[in-house]
Amino acid sequence: MYTRIDGKEVSSAVRDEIKKQVASLKEKGITPGLAVIIVGNDPASRVYVNNKKKGCEQTGMNSFEYAMPEETTTEELISLIEKLNKDEKVHGILCQLPVPKHIDEEKVLLAI
């Protein structure tokens, strides 16, 4: 036996609930912010990042994008993450995977 769900309907309901929660936070002077980091030019990753930005807009959240070149080092990426961790406007950090092969993914994820 299975249950069929309407993905668009579920997504819309979730976004509506998030909008309410964001509005409640805004009443307290807090606007949630999501920082999204993308390293390199992977087309699928670009689509995913753009969708995250759109989702933030639809729910009233702030979105901060950091596009870094393919040559970015692990240390440079971690430095940015450390800066974002201290930024009071940023409440969540998403580093779009995959990152280029020369970057230590585990170190990056542990820094978030």
Given 45, 83, 86, 107, which residue is catalytic?
45
Given 12, 24, 52, 101, which residue is catalytic?
52
* Active-site annotation holds for 96: yes
* Active-site annotation holds for 24: no
Q: Find the helix or strand (DSSP H, E) in which 68 lies.
A: strand 62-68
DSSP letter at 29 equals: T
* Active-site annotation holds for 52: yes
Are 5 and 13 spatial neighbours (Cβ–Cβ below 8 Å)?
A: no
Given 8, 19, 96, 107, which residue is catalytic?
96
Which residue's structure tokens are 């909008």? 19
Separation of alpha carbons 81 and 76, rounded Å = 9
Catalytic residue annotation? 45, 52, 96
